[in-house]
């Protein structure tokens, strides 16, 4: 049983010396970021205030970002990987060291978050925190109650990993993140195993657990669930806390009769 929140600390890293030269010559900034992390208005304001062209692309998994970075010459100036992916990317020499003299708010960064990032970025040379949150379960209370009754285990990962629960929730729709780096540690911890285990046999057990629930999962995706749970198209999702907050707001604004989306990080 998972009894604590699983942090997902994101670091923003400036990468690519050649890309930085291009910025100076062409006044073009190329950014690769997570879906729905910066509003269109903010992007428009940046372009107006800086007189620069902005190329802004989005991704929805760390694996997609890493594939671009590790193939070399990604063409981006700023990217936003999750903290746990930083070490391998730094070792691959894909980032340019930060110039702190050009970061006037450096001294205002949260020391605790900087320490977390430093575990993967010694000396905080390449990345600064942009956003942090947790991976958890979001659900539609009315639909879960209809499927499982009054005693639905909405305070436990049993909701997802017990076959008798997930099989009954299949009728209203269950989605999981398309991110092995997020889902496997949850499965390991649920089984009472180290979430960052380096033992192949532990991952075999986690894979077996996930294979058992797989037939009852509607889809694996790292952003689609946000709109679907707000619209009532699914009833349960494992996703990011920020996405569920947005989903709750969207459901409320739409006034579509969908119960308020809740999320938890407990048992």
Confidence of residue 27 (pLDDT cuts 50, 70, 90): confident
Q: Which residues of 78-97 are buried (b: 16+ CB within 10 A; e: fewer)?
A: bbbbbbbbbeebbeeebbbe
Q: Is the pLDDT of residue 96 over 70?
A: yes
Count CB neighbours of 150 within 10 A: 5
Q: Is the pLDDT of residue 18 over 80?
A: no
Q: What is the pTM of this model?
A: 0.80
Confidence of residue 261 (pLDDT cuts 50, 70, 90): low
Confidence of residue 133 (pLDDT cuts 50, 70, 90): confident
Q: How far is CA 187 from CA 12, 20, 202, in A?
A: 28, 40, 10
Helix (H) or strand (E) holding 141: helix 141-148
Report which listed range, 24-38, 120-134, 180-194, is most confident: 180-194
- CATH number, domain 7-133: 3.40.190.10
Residue boundaries of the structural domains of the chain: 7-133, 140-264
Give the homologous superfamily in CATH for domain 140-264. Periplasmic binding protein-like II (3.40.190.10)
């Amino acid at each position: 049983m998972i009894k604590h929140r699983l942090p997902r600390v994101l670091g923003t890293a400036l990468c690519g010396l050649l890309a930085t030269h291009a910025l100076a010559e062409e006044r073009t900034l190329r950014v690769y970021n997570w879906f729905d992390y910066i509003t269109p208005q903010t992007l428009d304001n940046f372009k107006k205030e800086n007189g620069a062209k902005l190329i802004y692309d989005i991704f929805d998994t760390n694996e997609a970002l890493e594939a671009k970075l590790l193939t070399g010459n990604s063409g981006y100036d700023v990217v936003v990987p999750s903290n746990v992916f930083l070490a391998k990317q730094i070792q691959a020499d894909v980032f340019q060291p930060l110039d702190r003299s050009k970061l006037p708010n450096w001294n205002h960064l949260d020391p605790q978050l900087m320490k977390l990032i430093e575990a993967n970025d010694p000396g905080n040379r390449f990345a600064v925190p942009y956003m942090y949150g947790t991976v958890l379960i979001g659900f539609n209370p009315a639909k879960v109650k209809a499927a499982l009754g009054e005693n639905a285990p909405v305070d436990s990962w049993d909701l997802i990993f017990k076959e008798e629960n997930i099989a009954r929730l299949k009728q209203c729709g269950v989605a999981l993140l398309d991110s092995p780096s997020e889902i496997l540690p949850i499965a390991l911890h649920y089984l009472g195993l180290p979430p960052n285990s380096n033992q192949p046999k532990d991952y075999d057990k986690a894979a077996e657990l996930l294979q058992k629930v797989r037939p009852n999962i509607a889809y694996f995706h790292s952003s689609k669930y946000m709109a679907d749970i707000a619209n009532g198209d699914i009833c349960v999702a494992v996703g990011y806390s920020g996405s569920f907050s947005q989903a709750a707001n969207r459901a409320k604004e739409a006034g579509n009769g969908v119960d308020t989306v809740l999320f938890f990080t407990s048992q």
